[in-house]
A and B are shown apart, each in its own frame.
Chain A
Amino acid sequence: MSVSNLLENWSEFRHTHPVDDKGYPDWEAYPSDIKWAMAIDLDACTGCNACSVACYAENNLPVVGKEKYSHGQAMHWMRIERYWDENDSGFQADQGARFLPMMCQQCEAAPCETVCPVGATNHTEDGLNSQIYNRCIGSRYCSANCPYKVRYFNWYNYPEQENAWPAPLNQQLNPDLTVRTKGVMEKCTFCKQRTYTARNNAKTEGRPVQDSDVQTACQEACPTGAITFGNLHNPESQVAKQWQSQQVDLIKDVQEKDEKEGNRLRGYRILEELRPYPSVMYLERVRESAV
């Protein structure tokens, strides 16, 4: 019976994954060729929302409509956040907004993963938080524990709702992935369907995955090229070079460069101090005033 299987699997798991807490995600214990990661240059971002639209199209995100959007029930896996400069007299609209594209940060030590009662959200070997829609029971604990609040819950049965994909949008639903039913959690997957295909293709051709193999939908749509995506474990990839040049280390919760004085590097990760080890690095905006 499966109780003995559980015990057997457990001892096997413990054998291959000895408990040796190093205080950070342990690469050697979980060897993998691929670690998907991102870098987003906020200096290049113009807040045009193309990435968000591309994400809706690629990932079959339902359009919830004005009313539900204003209730905070939007399903934008990729969202553009606007921040306004503030001084003594309040918000300064004439300075223009600062933009920040926000999606699931694919944390290495993800707060969402440990709390799910049914194990519907897991860590994949290529360093992503997966979400198993079939397994999700909708307790929403993952979202409650997510510091970035980038998980989106299906508050309604969107596939059956009128105008979730107003015509002709219904004609371009992506066949590479599902639509989601009511009561399950979903979030950015770093375009899982694309990375999966890229990995398979590379495997067929017997070579490692390269930058040219895969682009995420948001990256592809970004007119200013603000988004870089790739395999962090491949030192030749653009994203690895960027992380390295910014001296941002994935397994650190405080970067050494931040301790030094006169540090002029722009790379940072959001809420790094909470130690989720996010896989997205942002590059600070340097312009003092906008446009």
Chain B
Amino acid sequence: MGKDIREDIAWAQINKDVLKSLESPRKLYWVIIVIALLVFSVGIGCEVYQYNTGMGVANMDNPHVWGLYIASFIFWIGMSHSGTLLSAILHLMHADWRKPIYRFAEAMTTFSLLTAGLFVAVHLGRLWQVYYALPYPSERWVWPNFQSPLLWDAMAIFTYLSSSILFLYIGSIPDLAICRDNIHQGWRKKLYTLLALGWEGTDRQWRNFRVTYLTIACFLIPLAVSVHSIVASDFAMSQQPGWHVTSFPPYFVAGALYSGCAAIITLFIILRYVFRVEEYMTLPILKKTVRLTFAIAMVWTYLNCIEFASVWYSHDQVAKDVLIQKATGPYAPFWWAMIFCGSVVPFAMMVKKWQTNIPVMFAVSLLLNLGMWLERWMIVAPTFAHGYYPWTWDHDQWPSLIQWGIVFGSFGWFTLLFMVFCKIVPSVSMYEVKEMVYHRSLAKKKEEQAVKEELAVKGAN
């Protein structure tokens, strides 16, 4: 296991190290940016074609009216949850190990929400009328349908997105001020001056900052839970077999935290290398994150089993048929891959040696996310393939390359946003790391004091 953050690291050194990450990342950074651009342009190309031609090119058909878009939408919404978990919940629990990594987790929240929003747009048949779904004042007194879970979705996501942008921004203000004070020219100086809102680090500012940060953190936690519960309602509130399950909301929330944590591990490993912040994103922190992910993986597995059991014993023959179809029908390879990646692979995180082994954890986190993406797909597709009405059973539908291209492109979009962000805003929270170092050095001093006293007592004896 590598070293943890040094307690004697000087505060000025922290500033210097983190600010350096904004200026001279490794070459790999630019490689990633170029690849992300290419991947994103594939998605753009597919969407332009689909927009002009019609949704038919996605190869959706009568029973399969929803496809990979909705599955990926849930996936990206889910990814957004761990940022809140790390920055808000762990903040309230005073877990100090979160401090060097919460900033990028929070950025991940915002950008995966933006990616999810993209899928709403891609999915709609008439994107140009999307504003109909918003309750805007109209001279014809026409309102959206407040009964529809999709409308709740739109509201929940807008609220969550705006709150998490606010949270991310407010949490970065002290750091943006450090950037402002240390960078003396160019557009960056102007940008930081604007964003830092005149932060001077006075006592009063810090006090207000603490209260604001805490308030938004408390506000964000119930929001995070409600957002994915509402996404789950899109399915649970419908009448379709395999969707009409009461346990969906907690199941979705657990799945969201799970995939989010797995994504944090992936990005943790990439960031610490690309931005040379190995000294801050240390292996003991990785270990804590891995343990947290394992715990959530087990919760998800448990809820998954509950869902199967409740369908199995419900005497709802159609829902049961859908479950059997998932396990034995044309979707079986994907369904079992989901079980494998989501419930079996996490046990690799139990091996102590592997918990801090970068290549192994990288591979595991990718597999976990693959599993969670498959989970979302396996919720959406099989119900369409084998619904209530036998005449419309369609087991052979396969998403077209256009659909796959857009899903593929969304990863490029996310990576692009995320990487640009990390180059502009410090991805390690400087002021919180300073706090952490301070607390730890205090603790160490206390310890040394205790040892000394003990020795003194022994000497006296």
Contact = CB atoms under 8 A, between A and B. Distances in A.
Contacts of B239: 111, 145, 147, 274
A148 interface: yes
Given A119-B143, A139-B123, A71 B61 contact: yes
Interface in A5-46: 5-6, 9
Contacts of B123: 139
B318 to A, nearest CB: 9
Contacts of A141: 148, 150, 234, 238
A184 interface: yes
Interface in B210-261: 234, 237-240
Contacts of B66: 140, 144
A70 B162 CA distance: 44
B148 A154 contact: no
A117 B389 CA distance: 24
A14 to B, nearest CB: 13
Interface stretch (A130-138, A226-234, A235-243, A260-268): A130-138
B65 interface: yes
A257 interface: no
A155 B137 CA distance: 31
How many chain A residues sit at the interface, stated as a range, is 35 or more
Contacts of A184: 125-126
Nearest to A147: B388
Contacts of B55: 138, 153, 155, 182-183
A115 B237 contact: yes
Given A1-B137, A2-B138, A135-B132, A118 B391 contact: no
B63 A149 contact: yes
A74 B62 contact: yes
Contacts of A102: 391
B313 interface: no
A135 B138 CA distance: 13
B394 A72 contact: yes
Contact of B129 (A71, A137, A149): A137
A151 to B, nearest CB: 8
A3 interface: yes
A74 B252 CA distance: 34
Interface in B141-185: 141-145, 147-151, 154
Interface string A126-170: 000000000111111101110111001111110000000000000
Contacts of B387: 147, 149
Given A153-B55, A156-B53, A182 B388 contact: no
Contact of A117 (B56, B133, B138): B133
A79 to B, nearest CB: 8
Interface in A180-210: 182-185
Nearest to A143: B65
A176 interface: no
Contact of A2 (B125, B137, B144, B391): B137
Nearest to B153: A117
Nearest to B390: A83
Contacts of A5: 141
A73 interface: yes
B125 A139 contact: yes
Contacts of B137: 1-3
A141 B147 CA distance: 13
Contact of B143 (A6, A68, A138, A156): A6
A179 interface: no
B133 A137 contact: yes
B139 interface: yes
A81 interface: yes
How many chain B residues sit at the interface, stated as a range, is 35 or more
B392 interface: yes
Interface in B121-140: 123-127, 129-130, 132-133, 137-139
B56 A137 contact: no
B412 to A, nearest CB: 25
B124 A149 contact: no
A155 B124 contact: no
B62 A154 contact: no
A141 B142 CA distance: 20
Given A72-B64, A74-B62, A148-B389, A183 B154 contact: no
A137 B132 contact: yes
A100 B238 CA distance: 26
A144 B150 contact: no
B329 to A, nearest CB: 17
Contacts of A48: none
B54 A140 contact: no
Nearest to B149: A115
Contacts of A153: 55, 60, 62, 65, 125
A156 B54 contact: yes
B139 A2 contact: yes
Interface of B: 53-56, 59-66, 123-127, 129-130, 132-133, 137-139, 141-145, 147-151, 154, 234, 237-240, 384, 387-389, 391-392, 394, 397
Given A117-B132, A147-B387, 19 more contacts: A2-B138, A2-B139, A2-B141, A71-B59, A74-B62, A102-B391, A111-B239, A115-B148, A115-B237, A117-B133, A140-B65, A144-B66, A147-B239, A149-B392, A156-B53, A183-B55, A183-B126, A271-B388, A274-B388
Interface of A: 1-3, 5-6, 9, 68, 71-74, 81, 83, 100, 102, 111, 114-119, 135-141, 143-145, 147-149, 152-157, 182-185, 271, 274
28 contacts: A2-B141, A71-B56, A72-B394, A72-B397, A115-B148, A117-B150, A135-B132, A137-B125, A137-B126, A138-B55, A139-B124, A140-B65, A144-B65, A144-B238, A145-B238, A145-B239, A145-B240, A147-B240, A147-B387, A147-B388, A153-B55, A153-B65, A154-B125, A155-B54, A155-B61, A182-B55, A182-B125, A185-B125
